[in-house]
Amino acid sequence: MNTVIPPGGMRCSEVLAQLSEFLDGGLSVGERGAIEAHVRVCPDCTRFGGVFSTVLGRLRQERRTDPDAGRAPE
Amino acid sequence: MPTNDPEPTDEELLARSVRGDERAFGSFVARHRIGLHRYARMLSRNDTDAEDVLQDTFLQAWRGAHAATVRSVRPWLFTIARHALQRQRLRRVDTPTEAESLESLGAAAGFADADATPERFAMALEERSLLRAALAALDDADREVIVLRELEQLSGDETAAVLGVSLEAMKSRLHRARLRLVAEVRRRLPDGGTR
Ligand SMILES: [Zn+2]
């Protein structure tokens, strides 16, 4: 997004930097709102947010279906 | 003019350095600089890092020479250089600003790539081995934080404690590790990640 005033008052790089905190629920209401406002109108961040949470979701599925995933032998 | 003097030994130069003779230490540095630089260069990522290690090494040597009697100079110096390299690597892991930029990590993970869609990732990840392969491709520090936090489900504070870093440092490491994991998955998308 190359607009002068980026949506939500945030640049894509700032959204990218806070993506984990956003998904982990670690941000304030105001910070969340700014990201949500940005993502609503930014196709790049919408798509990448989807990719990021898809991979994390799959990872968490791994820990449910296979307790040994990524675990060293005990 | 000391033309009749034999070349001072390393030990003599160090002894003079301890008494505050910086020129003696300069001679000592000049004598060992090339070998240490070669060692640092082989084990650093670039010339800047190698130079940093070299400076750290000689600074510690200057201080250390005051503190202890040095028996074998070269092994002593290389040990100091090795510790300097280790300190540099640790700083790198803990200091996000010194690491790869988030922008380049994001780009590798497919940010701004219109073909890197959640649907393609989801479809590709139905093949279980893909995620395993992507995890295996991470370096140990990245895999470690992901295993602790995502698979073992330790809390943020617990993960930070295990890693021996602050909560903020752990979060930064985790975020970067996740981005690298996405990049590794993307590289394994059926048609190669980019069309
Ligand atoms: Zn954006």
| CA distance linking residue A55 with residue B180, whole number of Å | 11
- Does residue B155 carry a pLDDT above 80? yes
- Does the domain at B102-188 match CATH 1.10.10.10? Answer given as yes
How much of chain B exceeds pLDDT 90, in percent?
35
Most A-contacting residue of B135, B146, B175 (CB-CB within 10 A), to test interface: B175
pLDDT tens-place string over residues B139-150: 988 998 998 899
Q: Which residue range forms the structural domain that includes residue A52?
A: 7-65
Q: Are B175 and A19 in contact (CB under 8 A)?
A: yes
pLDDT band, residue A64 (cuts 50/70/90): low
Q: How far is CA B194 from CA B113, B116, B121, B189, in A?
A: 8, 7, 12, 9
Helix and strand numbers (H, E) in chain A are 3, 0
CATH pick for B10-91 out of 1.10.10.10, 3.50.50.60, 1.10.1740.10, 1.10.3720.10: 1.10.1740.10
> Across chain B, what does the average pLDDT equal?
85
Domain count, chain A: 1
B53-85 pLDDT, tens digit each? 888 888 888 878 776 677 778 888 888 888 888
Whether A32 is in a domain gets the answer yes
Question: What is the Cα B59 distance to its own chain's centre?
Answer: 20
User: Which residues does chain A have within 8 Å of residue B144's beta carbon, measured at their own beta carbons?
Assistant: none
Using a CB-CB cut-off of 8 Å, the residues of chain A touching B186 are 51
ipTM: 0.84
Distance CA B45, CA B83 (A): 16
Nearest to B15 by CA among B84, B65, B86, B73: B65
Asked whether residue A61 is domain-assigned, the answer is yes
Predicted TM-score (pTM) of the model is: 0.61
Largest CA distance in chain A: 55
Q: How far is the CA of B109 from the centre of ligand 1 (A)?
A: 15
Domains of chain B, by residue range, sit at 10-91, 102-188
Alpha-carbon distance of B173 to A50, in angstroms, equals 21
What residue has token string 């279980």?
A: B128
From ligand 1's centre to the CA of A15, what distance in Å?
A: 7
Q: How deeply is B67 buried, as exposed, middle or buried, from its count of CB atoms within 10 A (0-12, 13-18, 19+)?
A: exposed
Quickly tell me which residue has 């590289």 as its tokens: B187
Average pLDDT over residues A5-32: 86
Q: Is the pLDDT of residue A53 over 80?
A: yes
Q: Find out whether A39 and A15 touch, Cβ atoms under 8 Å.
A: yes
Closest approach of B150 to chain A, Cα-based (Å): 6
**Once rounded to an integer, what is the mean pLDDT over residues B152-169?**
90
pLDDT band at A73 (very low <50, low <70, confident <90, very high): very low
Residue A1 lies in a domain: no
Distance from C-alpha of A56 to C-alpha of B117, rounded to nearest angstrom: 14
Helix (H) or strand (E) holding B42, with range, is helix B22-43
pLDDT, chain A, mean = 81
Q: Count residue pairs from A and B with Cβ separation < 8 A.
A: 85
Instruction: For chain B, say whether A46 makes contact (Cβ under 8 Å).
Output: no
Q: Is A60 on the interface with B (CB under 8 A)?
A: yes
Sequence-ordered list of residues with C-beta below 8 angstroms from that of B20, at least 6 positions apart, any chain: none
| HSE of B129, CA atoms in CB hemisphere, 13 A | 1
Question: Taking residues A53-64, what's their average pLDDT?
Answer: 88
Tokens of B124: 């590709």
Closest-CA residue of chain A to B115: A47
- Residue A48: per-residue pLDDT: 97
Name the strand (E) or helix (H) holding B18. helix B10-18
Facing residue for A56 by CB, picked from B117, B156, B178: B178
Is residue B157's pLDDT more than 50? Answer: yes
Residue A49 lies in a domain: yes
Is A41 an 8 Å CB contact of chain B? no
> Is B112 in contact with A58 (Cβ distance < 8 A)?
no
Name the more confident of B178 and A62: B178
